[in-house]
Amino acid sequence: MKIRRNPRYLALKIESDKTFERKIFLNNVWRSLTKLYGEYGASKAGVALVEYEPEKGFAVLRCENEALTMVRAALATLTSIGEKRVAVHVLAISGTLRALRKKLSRGAEGLSESGGF
């Protein structure tokens, strides 16, 4: 019997004075997951970095639906990378990349109309 996986995609805003390489950012997400839930719990999350734009401070992370709350908690505890302070905010969550992009574009339209962007 094949087990069906239900991924979730998280759009992230990364606030920091410094940009980080893709590998460094992902390693710190894994480190945060491992600190909170141990290696077994972190492995159940199935975290992968789908998109990463360090200049814009934007990333898309994929995880298992069952581990969504674990990943959000781990992201909240990520406060520094190396010696630099960092804050990671979840902008949107969706089951597909297409729907995630749609949510982000709707959110950006609403923010630009109100003067947010």
Q: Which domain CATH number covers 65?
A: 3.30.70.3250
Rounded to two decimals, what is the model's pTM?
A: 0.85
- Domain span at 62: 7-113
Tell me what the pLDDT averaged over the chain comes to. 88
Instruction: Give the tens place of pLDDT for each residue, 7-58.
Output: 999 999 999 999 999 999 999 999 999 999 999 999 999 999 999 999 999 9
Q: Is residue 1 part of a domain?
A: no
Is residue 2 in a domain? Answer: no
Question: Which helix (H) or strand (E) element contains residue 11?
Answer: strand 7-16
Name, in order, each residue with C-beta under 8 angstroms of 33's C-beta and a sequence gap of 6 or more: 41, 42, 45, 47, 70, 71, 74
The two three-digit tokens of residue 87, written as one number:
């804050």
Query: How many domains are contained in the chain?
Result: 1
Question: What average pLDDT does range 2-11 have in this prediction?
Answer: 84
Domain annotation covers residue 50 = yes
In a domain, residue 58? The reply is yes
Task: Give the pLDDT band of residue 117 (cuts 50, 70, 90).
Answer: very low
Residue 44 falls within a domain, yes or no? yes
